[in-house]
A = this chain, B = another copy of it.
Amino acid sequence: MKTEQPYSQRKIVNDPVHGFISIPDNILYSLIEHPYIQRLRRIKQLGLTSLVYPGAVHTRFQHTLGAFFLMGTAISVLRNKGCQISENESTAAHSAIIMHDIGHGPFSHALEQTLIESLNHEDISLLLMDKLNVHFKGALSEAIDIFKGNTDKLFLHQLVSSQLDMDRLDYLKRDSFFSGVSEGVIGSDRIIKMLEIKNNELVVEGKGIYSIEKFLVARRLMYWQVYLHKTALVAERMLIHILKRAKDLALNKQDVPAPPFLKTFLEKRFCKKDFLSNPKILEDFIMLDDNDIMSALKQWRNHRDPVLAKLSSNLLNRRLLKIEISDTPYSKEIIEQLKKEKGPLLNLSKEEMDYFVFTDHISNSAYNVGQENINILYKDGTLKDISRASDMLDHNAFAKTVNKYILCYPK
């Protein structure tokens, strides 16, 4: 049996959220040092949200380290409760959480709707994990299986990806910490202390029910107050329109200045097959980060295309479109009317106005009944879904997806 590494051979990282994070000097450290993970230092966790919450410039790298730390805590709690987790399984679960965000590009959601259309970040994550596994000579196979859910010990997968995974426990706490929205803070320590295993699945001890309720309420609060904050939404929509426009121009052979690895994705559309057949595409993707987008915006603000120029300049200087939010969809008439009204003021054609007047819909549900449920374990051994176990939360409200609609237009 492998013994734990002496402390002196561990690397220690300071984290403002969790304190000291120690990393054993083995494959886990090598993995974190790998350029694929180091790259996450250059990708902000919350994209343009820092335009609303100036403190929220923390990176996906920090979040990755934080989730890695919580994984260690969770495994230690579960082992102490008698759950068998071998050293290899522990390393694999740690590796899986280190890699869980590896496929994210800069301003992920914006990118997925524009530059990388046919793959989402999960697809790219799997492509990159396979490449890493080759690099590490197969040492990551078990980690990848855990990530995919191909394991008998389903709870290891659930620690990486479920409605109560280490990913969520870290990001809620971290996003709350850095945005300064202190109400989003969750008791990740206590929740982890309440974890248990039943039939190889992750469950929560009965006395943890109030902590889970509070976690779900905090999560919902973070959604409406931070993740779906209307100023962040309009900024992201503007970025999407900028990237779309830049790509349209580039596809039409117009010059759109950008670093070569960004040009790759402006000048051509790729499908998943392309990524598999042409390794250079993935290599270029790996080079992309927030810096290239922001640097390009500054070049594009003088572009001869007025749509690209105006949007870029406005986003750069935080002159955002006006945004309204509603429980019901906005009618075509309203949109057409706004285009007609605002077009002449901006000296833009009706087609060009599509980039400045538009509607979109957003949705969120506090808890997805049926998908990787959060189960409460009672002392008599029975299990109950949290939405049934809680006497405060409305089971139906829980199940419901809240839909809202936004309307953006020039001031």
Interface residues of chain A, those whose CB is within 8 Å of chain B, are: 6-8, 12-17, 19-20, 33, 35, 38, 41-42, 50-51, 53-55, 57-59, 61-62, 65, 77, 80-82, 177-183, 185-187, 189-190, 193, 210-211, 213-214, 217-218, 220-221, 224-225, 257, 259-261, 287, 289-292, 294-296, 298-299, 316-318, 366, 391-395, 397-398, 400, 402
Residues of B within 8 A of A214 (CB): 183, 214, 217-218, 221
Is there an interface contact between A55 and B394, defined as CB atoms closer than 8 Å? no
A80 to B8, CA, bound (A): 7
List 10 A-B residue pairs with CB atoms under 8 Å apart, sorted by A's residue number.
A6-B80, A13-B54, A16-B55, A54-B59, A210-B225, A211-B221, A214-B217, A257-B259, A292-B295, A393-B397
CB within 8 A of A6: which of B82, B213, B257? B82
Is there an interface contact between B57 and A59, defined as CB atoms closer than 8 Å? yes
Is there an interface contact between A393 and B391, defined as CB atoms closer than 8 Å? no
Taking each of A54, A57, A225, A257, which has the highest tally of chain B beta carbons within 10 Å of its own beta carbon?
A54
- A369 to chain B minimum Cβ distance, whole angstroms, is 14
Known: A54-B65, A55-B15, A291-B290. A392 touches B393 (CB 8 A): yes
Residues of B within 8 A of A55 (CB): 14-17, 58, 62
Is there an interface contact between A259 and B295, defined as CB atoms closer than 8 Å? yes
Residues of B within 8 A of A81 (CB): 6-8
Instruction: Name A294's closest neighbour in chain B (CB-CB).
Output: B291
Residues of B within 8 A of A294 (CB): 42, 289, 291
CB within 8 A of A53: which of B14, B54, B225? B14
Residues of B within 8 A of A218 (CB): 214
Instruction: Name A5's closest neighbour in chain B (CB-CB).
Output: B80
Known: A55-B58, A213-B217, A257-B259. A14 touches B394 (CB 8 A): no
Is there an interface contact between B402 and A397, defined as CB atoms closer than 8 Å? no
A345 to B305, CA, bound (A): 50
Taking each of A41, A82, A185, A189, which has the highest tally of chain B beta carbons within 10 Å of its own beta carbon?
A41
A213 to B220, CA, bound (A): 10
Residues of B within 8 A of A16 (CB): 55, 177-180
Residues of B within 8 A of A33 (CB): 318
Residues of B within 8 A of A8 (CB): 80-82
Instruction: Name A297's closest neighbour in chain B (CB-CB).
Output: B291
Residues of B within 8 A of A53 (CB): 14
Is there an interface contact between A182 and B187, defined as CB atoms closer than 8 Å? yes
- A301 to chain B minimum Cβ distance, whole angstroms, is 9
A294 to B41, CA, bound (A): 11
Known: A6-B82, A19-B189, A82-B8. A299 touches B260 (CB 8 A): yes
A189 to B395, CA, bound (A): 31
A12 to B81, CA, bound (A): 14
Is there an interface contact between A38 and B210, defined as CB atoms closer than 8 Å? no
Residues of B within 8 A of A12 (CB): 193
20 additional A-B residue pairs with CB within 8 Å, beyond A7-B77, A214-B221, A393-B393: A6-B80, A14-B179, A14-B180, A16-B177, A33-B318, A38-B316, A41-B54, A55-B62, A57-B57, A182-B187, A182-B190, A183-B187, A210-B221, A210-B225, A217-B392, A259-B299, A260-B299, A291-B295, A392-B394, A393-B394
- A411 to chain B minimum Cβ distance, whole angstroms, is 13
CB within 8 A of A15: which of B35, B180, B225? B180
Is there an interface contact between A221 and B213, defined as CB atoms closer than 8 Å? yes
Instruction: Name A174's closest neighbour in chain B (CB-CB).
Output: B55
Instruction: Name A80's closest neighbour in chain B (CB-CB).
Output: B7
A75 to B410, CA, bound (A): 38
A210 to B218, CA, bound (A): 9
